[in-house]
Chains A and B, each alone.
Chain A
Amino acid sequence: MALVKDAISFEGVGQTFLTDAGPLIALKGVSLTLDQHEFVAVLGPSGCGKSTLLRLTAGLMMPTQGRVSVFGKPVDGPRDDVGIVFQNATLLPWANVEDNVVFPAKHMRGRVDDKDRDQARRIIATVGLEGFEKRLPGELSGGMQQRVGIARALFLNPDILLMDEPFSALDALTRDAMGFELLRLWQASPKTVMFITHSIPEAVLLADRVVVMSARPGGVIADLPVPLGRPRDETSLRTAEMQDYMAHLRGLLIHKEIA
């Protein structure tokens, strides 16, 4: 009997898409594990299949090769114990903040009760949007919209949080602030986080471990723990050690893109 169950594991996973231009190999031979409550950043150039990893974990697509498991069980279909945060908040423009956050419950069960609404208001407060419950998404800034997106993903209290370049549509200042906000949420309520990004500083600042991927076909070329304790702040990356570490990551990415 296995004692330790990995939260997420990929074993020799390959993914090929059929396109009009012929088969496209998005992922090839990916093996990777995420421990429970670990924060892992997946770093790679665009088109390296980072998002495919996320969709495989959520069970939104099945691998053409290999196996994806969550908590030791093979993923065989969409699963509702993962929360997904997309690049764009993709909120419902006709629904206010609170209705957007309870949407998962409404969508699964067809209706929401007072308990759901209480829970939604609690989460809205946690992501710092107290007082904005009745606002429509169109009235919020990009950063606030993404906070709602995160609140929606947290609503069902998932064990796993999948984030697909969640802050890349935000301006630089908001982006940093949101990163620290996410760390605060994660420390208050630990979850296994798979954070897709193409920003080296963002990956290093947030994650316990950085997985570097190569461009098409996507594969893991490095899997490096981040030599940085917690808590972290704006100054954490200014040490010579961290600068070297980031330069190393940059080297891996650039080298792979040329080759």
Chain B
Amino acid sequence: MSAETEAAPQDRPVLPRQSLSERLVRMPVVLPLFTFLSVLVLWEVGTRVFAVPSYILPAPSRIATGFGAVDLPRWIAHIWATLRVALMGYGAAILISLPIAIGLAKSKLLSRALYPLLVVIQSVPVVAVAPIIIVVLGTNDAPRVVITFMISFFPLVVSMTTGLMATPPELIELSRSLRAPQHREITQIRLPYATPYIFSGLKISITLAVIGAVVSEFVAAEKGIGYFIQFSTSMFKLPQAWAGLAILVAMSLVLFQSVSLIQRLFFPWSLPKATK
């Protein structure tokens, strides 16, 4: 009897013992940060020990000095040029893929007729068409936006169409039995149901949009990070080219996380259960 009262002085639950690896898994930030820093340290040490020339692989410290090759306003101008094209192409891809996806989801006829064409367009290597598009559309924003659009729109169409078709047929029957106008079936049932799918498409496409912007800058541009990297390599200034690359990576990550954040803030119900 005394043993019992001693064993349960409070109502604190008894937790299972955790091993180190189990505890590390529960720390979502620590582990990736550790990996990342380890790679940087290995990289730095490796390039120094083996005396790797900086045009082959500059050490992280050399890349860091590469950021100083250009002053801040110039960096911002380059970043803004790339970001602008990426966002415009991305926006165009969203605006154009939505009606196409609705058409494909609603009409079997349209989907049979249009889908092969979409696949053909997707199969065209955009990098190869980019010079042609520049010649056709000139050297202003238009060709760059078109190239970005072409790279980023296909995953959007596919994910939106899949999402719009993922609606339970019962709800479509409910909608029909209520004799509601067609547009409300789209806005009140199909589109909200497609939200998780749309967001996975949006996440894939935002990083593709950055790639599209860079590709277009490779072909014809006088500013932008893509232009900066190409210019730097042609001048054999590899560390600053790497600095540009690091900025592109950061830009993609920030854009991707922004899309995730929008989903978490405004559409929390559309997240998979485990990540809530």
Interface, chain A (partner B; CB < 8 A): 55, 58-60, 77-80, 82, 84, 86, 88, 90, 92-94, 103-104, 106-108, 110, 136, 138
The answer to whether A108 and B177 touch across the interface, beta carbons within 8 angstroms, is no
Please, how many angstroms separate the alpha-carbon atoms of A171 and B108 in the complex? Answer: 38
The answer to whether B178 and A108 touch across the interface, beta carbons within 8 angstroms, is yes
Whole-angstrom distance from the CB of B142 to the nearest CB of chain A? Answer: 38
The answer to whether A94 and B178 touch across the interface, beta carbons within 8 angstroms, is no
Whole-angstrom distance from the CB of A199 to the nearest CB of chain B? Answer: 20
The answer to whether B173 and A104 touch across the interface, beta carbons within 8 angstroms, is no
| Contact of B236 with A by CB under 8 A | no
The answer to whether B173 and A60 touch across the interface, beta carbons within 8 angstroms, is yes
The answer to whether B177 and A80 touch across the interface, beta carbons within 8 angstroms, is yes
Among A60, A107, A136, point to the contact of B184 (Cβ < 8 A): A107
The answer to whether B173 and A84 touch across the interface, beta carbons within 8 angstroms, is yes
Whole-angstrom distance from the CB of B185 to the nearest CB of chain A? Answer: 8
Can you list 16 A-B pairs with a CB-CB distance of less than 8 A?
A55-B173, A59-B177, A60-B176, A78-B177, A80-B177, A84-B170, A84-B177, A88-B168, A88-B170, A90-B171, A92-B192, A93-B269, A94-B269, A107-B178, A108-B178, A138-B269
Query: Which of the four size classes fits the interface of chain B?
Result: 20 to 34
The answer to whether A90 and B177 touch across the interface, beta carbons within 8 angstroms, is no
| Contact of B80 with A by CB under 8 A | no
Please, how many angstroms separate the alpha-carbon atoms of A82 and B177 in the complex? Answer: 8
> Which residues of the other chain, A, contact B171 by a CB distance below 8 angstroms?
90, 92
Closest-by-CB residue of B relative to A58 is B177
For the complex, would chain A's binding face be called helix, strand, loop or mixed by DSSP majority? loop
The answer to whether B180 and A90 touch across the interface, beta carbons within 8 angstroms, is no
Among A59, A77, A84, point to the contact of B174 (Cβ < 8 A): A84
From 159 to 184 in chain B, residues with beta carbon under 8 angstroms from any chain A beta carbon are 168, 170-171, 173-180, 184
Please, how many angstroms separate the alpha-carbon atoms of A205 and B249 in the complex? Answer: 65
Known contacts A90-B171, A107-B188; can you find 20 more A-B pairs with CB under 8 A? A59-B177, A60-B173, A78-B176, A80-B177, A80-B178, A80-B179, A82-B177, A84-B173, A86-B170, A88-B170, A90-B168, A90-B170, A90-B174, A92-B192, A93-B269, A94-B269, A107-B180, A107-B184, A107-B189, A108-B180
| Contact of B270 with A by CB under 8 A | yes
Among A55, A106, A136, point to the contact of B188 (Cβ < 8 A): A106
From 217 to 276 in chain B, residues with beta carbon under 8 angstroms from any chain A beta carbon are 267, 269-270, 273
Please, how many angstroms separate the alpha-carbon atoms of A80 and B179 in the complex? Answer: 7
The answer to whether A92 and B189 touch across the interface, beta carbons within 8 angstroms, is yes
